[in-house]
Amino acid sequence: KQEVTQIPAALSVPEGENLVLNCSFTDSAIYNLQWFRQDPGKGLTSLLLIQSSQREQTSGRLNASLDKSSGRSTLYIAASQPGDSATYLCAVRPLGGGGADGLTFGKGTHLIIQP
């Protein structure tokens, strides 16, 4: 059974710092990995999706990397801003047929950027 772990569980840093969020998964047979952001009481917003054949994806101040063989992904946030405060979730989609397409999520990293 796939398990996804996110470290740290919570992080509080001053505005302007660069930071790294970590995600690890136990089964490397994945189709893709997706990073989401969730604001309190809200749904999820997709940030970046990395296919299993890719090594990284970038969007603005965000960069996500994937090392499938070691079961790790990182989300790098540059020049953090108070508006980046949210919970960041990592999710993997399994590889395989038969419709096994449900994402497996980690518990998230709760990020607070202090003004």
Partner 1 sequence: DTGVSQNPRHKITKRGQNVTFRCDPISEHNRLYWYRQTLGQGPEFLTYFQNEAQLEKSRLLSDRFSAERPKGSFSTLEIQRTEQGDSAMYLCASSLDPGWADTQYFGPGTRLTVL
What is the DSSP secondary structure assignment for residue 99, as one 8-state letter? Answer: T
Backbone angles phi, psi at 69, to 5 degrees: -65, -35
Give the integer Cα–Cα distance in Å for 28 and 68: 6
Contact 48, 62 (CB under 8 A): yes
CB of 103 to partner 1, least distance (A): 6
109 binds partner 1 (CB under 8 A): no
Under rule CB under 8 A, how many of the chain's residues touch partner 1? Answer: 27
CB of 27 to partner 1, least distance (A): 15
Q: Tell me which residue of 97, 111, 99 sits closest to 14, measured CA to CA.
A: 111
Q: Which of 45, 58, 70, 81 binds partner 1 (CB under 8 A)?
A: 45
Q: Which of 25, 34, 64, 77 binds partner 1 (CB under 8 A)?
A: 34
Query: CA dihedral defined by 27, 28, 29, 32, rounded to 10 degrees?
Result: 110
The residue range among 11-19, 36-44, 64-72, 75-83 that interacts with partner 1, by the rule CB under 8 A, is 36-44
Q: Which of 12, 20, 29, 107 binds partner 1 (CB under 8 A)?
A: 107
In the region spanning residues 47 to 106, those forming contacts with partner 1, defined by CB under 8 A, are 49, 51, 89, 91, 93, 98-106
